[in-house]
Amino acid sequence: MMLPKRLIVGLISLCLVIRCTGGNERCGASIRGACPSAWSQWGDKCYKQLSENLPWAEANQECIKMGSVLVMPQSQEETEYLVKNMIYYFWINCSDLQVEGTWVCQDGTTDVEYRNWRDGEPSNGGGKEDCAVVNPSGDWNDVPCDHPIPTICQRSAPQLHF
């Protein structure tokens, strides 16, 4: 039987509250909350695919408007989750728009070291490939930033503090 996430969170919360009665100062805890409805959850991240395909800069802006950021997977496991459960081809928050050949990949405003380029990529094809996508196989390719491409936004799952 599948219990709704919110019920599970509620039950965990109730258990913590019961354990924490009696003035025990060490009972502080934080647990992971559920993602907002229409967002998918993996670990402590929530994801949502936008309804239309967008150029990279607009994809970034649309995610920010929703209180989120353009997705930036940081492991093979996270990439597999996205490819299998969301969509198999999407922008990531990775570009060399500032300095050709210097790729900046960011989770929000935090630089990410993880790279997963396909062999031979980034190729800067035609001298104008400055934005990165995840391919169906999970590896990355640089493509022109003005191509309309599926977009996934990410945000942190809410944390509940006690």
Q: Point out which residues bind Ca ion (CB under 5 A).
A: 96, 121, 123-125, 129-130, 141-142
Phi, psi of 154 (to 5 degrees): -130, 150
Shortest separation between residue 97's beta carbon and Ca ion, angstroms: 8
88 Rama sector, left if φ>0, alpha if ψ -120 to 50, beta otherwise: alpha
Rank residues 143 and 153 by Cβ distance to Ca ion and give the closer one.
143
Please give the structure tokens belonging to residue 13.
Answer: 């919360």
Rank residues 123 and 159 by Cβ distance to Ca ion and give the closer one.
123
Is the four-CA dihedral 67, 108, 30, 4 of positive or negative sign? positive
Distance CA 109, CA 127 (A): 27
Shortest separation between residue 147's beta carbon and Ca ion, angstroms: 11
Rank residues 42 and 56 by Cβ distance to Ca ion and give the closer one.
56
Shortest separation between residue 47's beta carbon and Ca ion, angstroms: 24
CB neighbour list of residue 27: distance below 8 Å, 6 or more residues apart: 16, 19, 20, 162
Rank residues 43 and 125 by Cβ distance to Ca ion and give the closer one.
125
Shortest separation between residue 122's beta carbon and Ca ion, angstroms: 6
Shortest separation between residue 77's beta carbon and Ca ion, angstroms: 24
How buried is residue 118: exposed, middle or buried, by Cβ count under 10 Å (0-12/13-18/19+)? Answer: middle
Rank residues 141 and 151 by Cβ distance to Ca ion and give the closer one.
141
